[in-house]
Amino acid sequence: MVQSSVLGFPRMGVLRDLKKANEAYWADKISQEALLAEGKRLRLAHWKIQKDAGVDIIPSNDFAHYDHVLDHIQLFNAVPERYTSQKLSPLDEYFAMGRGHQKGGVDVPALEMVKWFDSNYHYVKPTLQDNQTFSLAKDPKPVREFLEAKEAGFQTRPVLVGPVSFLALGKADRGSSVDPITLLDKLVPVYVELLKQLKAAGAESVQIDEPVLVFDLRPEVKAAFKPAYEAIAAAGDAVPKVIVATYFGDIVHNFDVLPAFSGAAGLHVDLVRNPEQLEPVLKQLGPNQILSAGVVDGRNIWKNDFAKSLEILQTAVKALGPERVIVATSSSLIHTPHTLASEKKLPSDVYEWFSFAVEKVKEVATLAKAVTEPEAVKAELEANAAAIKARTDSKRTNDPAVKERQAQVTPEQHNRKAPFNTRYAEQKKHLSLPLFPTTTIGSFPQTSEIRVQRNKFTKGEISAEEYERFIEKEIELAVKIQDELDLDVYVHGEPERNDMVQYFGERLNGYVFTTHAWVQSYGSRCVRPPIIVGDISRPAPMTVKESKYAASISKKPMKGMLTGPVTCLRWSFPRVDVHQSVQCQQLALALRDEVVDLEKNGIYVIQVDEPALREGLPLRKGQEREAYLKWAVDSFKLATAGVENSTQIHSHFCYSEFQDFFHAIAALDADVLSIENSKSDAKLLKVFIDEEYPRHIGPGVYDIHSPRVPTLEEFKQRIEEMLAYLKPEQLWINPDCGLKTRKWDEVKGALSHMVEAAKYFREKYANKA
């Protein structure tokens, strides 16, 4: 029989229950026991959903209170000494690594958090020492949760981050220079011990995730698979059967690694992203190995096209026989919302087009049956075919006016009127900014008061006028605080925005949006990606009213704030019937009109955020990357190039890994770039000198993900480090990203130190001049 399996289930619960419980615990509103009990309730509920749907192989240890990679840092006792020395409870130590800890006399920053492959999920980077050791944590979480499931009547397959991926996704701690992969010998015995304990607990098989196999790998990393998996195979029946899982790309270029898995029971591959890898993968499998065929998309919300999936599955079954094929989600479902059933406001025609996690779980089970017994699921197959046909035939997707405008785009529309030096001279006159200008990235605290008022407005409990007045008052507050802090370029604070992408999605034609479709972004933070269902256009200005009001009450330049086309695309659920470059250009044209309207209304500094530009980069180097960068950069330029020379275009990226596509960042031709830098080595900025980057840069001087307020000295030290790589006249002083997740007292504390540090350097360099 063909079996069905799920690689991981969303953790948050129907109503973001985990977010609420975590945040209540952090605010000292519930006890540790209550939080752990809520975690258990969610795990049991999620296992039940999968069992009830008829899924054969249900994951455990996919749940995490903050992040699953962080779980493994604690599992392998790879916790840096600065946390262990605080003698916190294991749960508080865990959260301290995830989000920093500044209470009860303990003051320790968070570990670095970065994007999980090309998704909008963030993981905590294993941070390793020169003298790193590993050992298995007491009462290991995967064993504990396996037993918890077993006691409740669920036989599960534990999910682990593989030893090679764990190390390859890690980094040396500041002050250490170890190449994490050289620590493999020390990690593998701990791994084997963990697998033995799982087997003893009753686990028949484990899913070991080695997603780094989709990357171009360094020879050292490639070579690590053999010893790691041979050691696991050598443990024989003392360990569970191993399914090695890869996702988000193809692994054909790493086939030379596959002999390392000859002792494994099977291999999982992503056949949504790369269906063409099926044939070559089938040829690589050993005589008894299983193929776990990822055909149900873990990254998008479109209903599975059963006919297409069945074609893939039949090919696999023909080659291997039904016993050696598992129907699976392409990746963990943490990238999809919990259930479509919560959506009461979607137009009825489009409702039928979607599947969220709960529905995808059913799709996996149905497909597994359909491969060998189509008659048993005849009704489901027919309903699916009808839904797919309705989607294909829909008129919603096609807007001739949008297509007409796209056909008329010219190369000249992508370029500013003059090169940077000419523009900058005009901007300098126009904006009269000091050396080391200070600014913020856009958002200020989204207080519960703001969320409550927005919720009341959405429900019709307050009028549009009342809500507008409330937003104006929030903008007034933001301006007043910036006056007090003495910042140089102001922002209006984005109080009217629920989210930087959802807000635009709600104002553009071609989108639909949801009420409950939350997806975890990091820790307790979730996003509700809008869904692109058709051609995109802008029916009316989207941000002009708020920016214009903010500028009218501000004595300093007010930055207009937009989300760029690539980010709007990447952080939405995109269409799958039209190439992403086409959708991105439609977004760019809509945003171009907004940029020009802002300028017409007296906004002369405009930031167009593109934090998702890096994340969209194809995971492997080569032609695909270049093609992506071409349309992504062109879209940004098309969106921003309609303004006069004297208008200053900013862009923002909250990541520090730009070395490998620096030419694209430079090609954006933004006058000022703000980037994330506070948690990485300032020497990453060297690329700006090496490449003789002429424009202005604001490397973030503090980590906004943590509630911790850095000291003045920390700011000065960070700026000093940056000045080793950037010219003083190029350097802007700003945080890593927006401040929406912070509280006002944290923001005021941190920004007052930031401004004081900027003034210190301003004075120092003025004296030098």
Ligand X SMILES: CN1c2c(nc(N)[nH]c2=O)NC[C@@H]1CNc1ccc(C(=O)N[C@@H](CCC(=O)N[C@@H](CCC(=O)N[C@@H](CCC(=O)O)C(=O)O)C(=O)O)C(=O)O)cc1
Report the catalytic residues: 705
Give the separation between CA 599 and CA 668, rounded to whole angstroms: 19
By CB under 6 A, is residue 261 in contact with ligand X? Answer: no
Whole-number Cα distances in Å, 569 to 109, 610, 630, 689: 32, 10, 15, 31
498 binds ligand X (CB under 6 A): yes
Residue with tokens 């070395």: 659
Please pick, from the candidates 264, 290, 326, 737, the single residue that binds ligand HCS as defined by CB under 6 A: 737
- Label residues 507-529 b or e (16+ Cβ within 10 Å = b): bbebbbbbebbbbbbbbbbbbbb
Site string for ligand X, 604-633 (x = CB under 6 A): -------x----------------------
**Residue 44: both structure tokens together:** 């049991």
Encoded amino acid at 244, one letter:
V
Query: Which of the 8 DSSP states describes residue 112?
Result: P
CB of 611 to ligand X, least distance (A): 6
Q: For residues 368 and 675, which CB has a smaller minimum distance to ligand HCS in the complex?
A: 675
Q: How far is the CB of 528 from ligand X (least distance, A)?
A: 5
Query: Which tokens go with 323?
Result: 């016993």
Show the beta-strand stretches assigned E in 325-382: 325-329
Query: In sequence order, which residues have a C-beta less than 8 Å from that of residue 117 and are 6 or more positions away?
Result: 211, 214, 248, 249, 619
- Which of 611, 642, 699, 710 binds ligand HCS (CB under 6 A)? It is 611
Pick 231 or 754: Cβ nearer ligand HCS: 754
String marking each residue 700-739 x if it binds Zn ion according to CB under 5 A: -------------------------------------x--
CB of 765 within 8 A of CB of 720? Answer: no
- Closer Cβ to ligand HCS, 360 or 742, answer by number: 742
Smallest distance from ligand HCS to CB 336, Å: 22
* 59 lies in the binding site for Zn ion (CB under 5 A): no
Q: Per DSSP, which regions of 148-262 are E strands? A: 156-161, 171-172, 205-209, 241-245
DSSP codes joined into one string, 126-172: PEE-TT----PPSS-HHHHHHHHHHHTT--EEEEEE-HHHHHHT-EE
Look at residues 113, 126, 112 and name the one whose alpha carbon lies nearest to residue 79. Answer: 126
Touching ligand X, residues 353-412 (CB under 6 A): none
Tell me: is residue 443 an annotated ligand-binding position.
yes
With contacts defined by CB under 5 A, name the span among 137-145, 150-158, 172-180, 608-616 that binds Zn ion.
608-616
611 binds Zn ion (CB under 5 A): yes
Is 571 annotated to bind a ligand? Reply is yes
Tell me which of 454, 575, 696, 753 binds ligand X, using CB under 6 A: 454
Span from 393-401, 437-445, 460-468, 570-578 in contact with ligand HCS (CB under 6 A): 437-445
Tokens at 258, concatenated:
């596959």
455 belongs to the binding site for ligand X (CB under 6 A): yes
The answer to the question of whether 652 is labelled as a binding residue is yes
Answer yes or no whether residue 120 interacts with ligand X by CB under 6 A: yes
Query: Is there binding between residue 500 and Zn ion (CB under 5 A)?
Result: no
Compute CA distances 505 → 181, 451, 577, whole Å: 42, 18, 19
Q: Does residue 500 belong to the site contacting ligand HCS (CB under 6 A)?
A: yes
Which residues between 506 and 535 bind ligand X (CB under 6 A)? 521-522, 525-528
Residue 615 binding ligand HCS, by CB under 6 A: no
442 binds, among ligand HCS, Zn ion, ligand X, none (CB under 5 to 8 A by kind): ligand HCS
C-beta of residue 164 within 8 angstroms of C-beta of residue 210: yes
What sections of 601-743 are H helices per DSSP? 623-640, 662-667, 686-690, 712-723
Q: Which one-letter amino acid corresponds to residue 736?
A: D
Cα–Cα distance, 203 to 197 (Å, whole number): 9
Give the residue numbers of the binding site: 19, 120, 441-443, 494, 525-526, 571, 609, 652, 654, 663, 676, 737
Task: State the residues that interact with ligand X by CB under 6 A.
Answer: 19, 120, 446, 448, 451-452, 454-455, 498-502, 521-522, 525-528, 571, 611, 654, 737, 740-741
Task: State the residues that interact with ligand HCS by CB under 6 A.
Answer: 441-443, 500, 561, 609, 611, 652, 654, 737-738, 740
